Amino acid sequence: MKKLSDFTFGIVGLGLMGGSLAKAIREYVLDEHNSTGKILGCDVNAVSVSLSVEQHIVDKGYSSEQTDEMLRQCDFVYICLYPHATLKFLQEHKSDFKSGAIVSDISGVKSLLFENMNSFLREDVDFIPGHPMAGSEREGYVHSSGEVFKNRNYIVLPLPSTKKENLEMFKLLITAMGFTRIIETDYHVHDHKIAFTSQLCHVIASALVNSAEDTKITAFGGGSYEDLTRIALINAPLWTELFLSNKNELLNHINNFQKSLETLKTAIEKDDSNAIEKYLEDVRVKRTAMSRIDTVEK
């Protein structure tokens, strides 16, 4: 069986995530072994492509018009595009993938892909949806880094048709890049959980910044505000698409959050110190339990 270090990897979309994946594969999969593997990359942004080649991260760059030529060479393809663009790419390039290739995406919402799979699946291409739980508030290839994946979670959504050996190879790649916990699930669970741990957090951070009375408020900060709002430095087009693509799940979590906030607000309005203290103690217990589970699983 072909070794991972001898694969030809294709990265579609050399932005923050695509660039980071390419750098991690280069450093931790190819450069650390006596490999014959290589990385090919394509992007609509010619500057990103050129820079990735100049830095010796990508062995050869391709324009979007040359994508089919690149795909025909790749043993493993990462599609690092927005959700709707990912679906469109899979549909338009269905016939261009190399037979036997493993193909994965990084989309933050999966229902769109799973509900349209008949339009792009091929029997001789193993599509294994995935979601690396890592990133940055910055954008673009220039801010990419292979270190961003260290000790992070990776969600994998195998299909009934997924070949066992390909799934194991994918997990080896994920582990080599620095991810320390791999979660297997289905798209319903993924979209429900991610709406809470990711999308709701971005909603809250954005609303918190928007509610600030002035931009000089950070002069009175001690770190709490800064920690809570770092992710509000948001990629607006991407997160608009994520919010709307997972609308129902996200709205349910927003409603639950509002109810919890209202409970605390009411206790404060009524000067109910017992209710406030119990609320905060319960929160502390719950958060401590989350930390224990996180430590045990890792």
What residue type is 100 in one-letter code?
A: G
Q: Which two tokens stand for residue 108?
A: 């933050």
Cα(133)–Cα(155) distance, integer angstroms: 7
CB 144 within 8 Å of CB 15: yes
Q: How many residues does the chain have?
A: 298
For the sheet with 102-105, list strands across it.
60-62, 38-42, 8-12, 76-79, 102-105, 126-127
- Mean pLDDT within 54-78: 96
For residue 94, is pLDDT > 60?
Answer: yes
For residue 295, is pLDDT > 60?
Answer: no
Cα(59)–Cα(42) distance, integer angstroms: 11
> CATH topology of 4-185 equal to that of 190-297?
no
**Nearest C-alpha neighbor of 50 from the set 67, 63, 65, 37:** 63
Torsion of CA 267, 272, 277, 278, to 10 degrees: -70
pLDDT at residue 9, as a whole number: 98
- Mean pLDDT within 132-156: 90
Cα(199)–Cα(193) distance, integer angstroms: 9
pLDDT at residue 292, as a whole number: 67
Instruction: Look at residue 214 and give its three-state secondary structure.
Output: coil
The total of other beta-carbon atoms located within 10 Å of residue 106's CB is 22
For residue 296, is pLDDT > 70?
Answer: no
pLDDT at residue 180, as a whole number: 93
- Mean pLDDT within 155-179: 97
pLDDT at residue 224, as a whole number: 93
The secondary structure of residue 57, as a DSSP letter, is S
Structural domain boundaries in the chain: 4-185, 190-297
pLDDT at residue 221, as a whole number: 87
The total of other beta-carbon atoms located within 10 Å of residue 144's CB is 26
pLDDT at residue 139, as a whole number: 80
- Mean pLDDT within 174-183: 95
Q: Which CATH number fits domain 190-297: 1.10.3660.10, 1.10.10.10, 3.30.1330.30, 3.40.50.300?
A: 1.10.3660.10
% residues pLDDT > 90 (the chain): 89
pLDDT at residue 294, as a whole number: 59
The mean of the pLDDT values for the chain is 94
For residue 33, is pLDDT > 50?
Answer: yes
pLDDT at residue 293, as a whole number: 59
Q: Exposed, middle or buried, 120 (CB in 10 Å: 0-12/13-18/19+)?
A: buried
- Mean pLDDT within 149-177: 96
Cα(41)–Cα(6) distance, integer angstroms: 17
pLDDT-based confidence at 136, cuts 50/70/90?
confident
pLDDT-based confidence at 34, cuts 50/70/90?
confident
pLDDT at residue 262, as a whole number: 98
pLDDT-based confidence at 238, cuts 50/70/90?
very high
Alpha helices in 126-176, H assignment, sequence order: 164-176
pLDDT at residue 42, as a whole number: 97
Superfamily in which the 4-185 domain is placed by CATH:
NAD(P)-binding Rossmann-like Domain (3.40.50.720)
**Nearest C-alpha neighbor of 121 from the set 155, 150, 140, 93:** 93
Cα(100)–Cα(95) distance, integer angstroms: 12
pLDDT-based confidence at 172, cuts 50/70/90?
very high
pLDDT-based confidence at 135, cuts 50/70/90?
confident
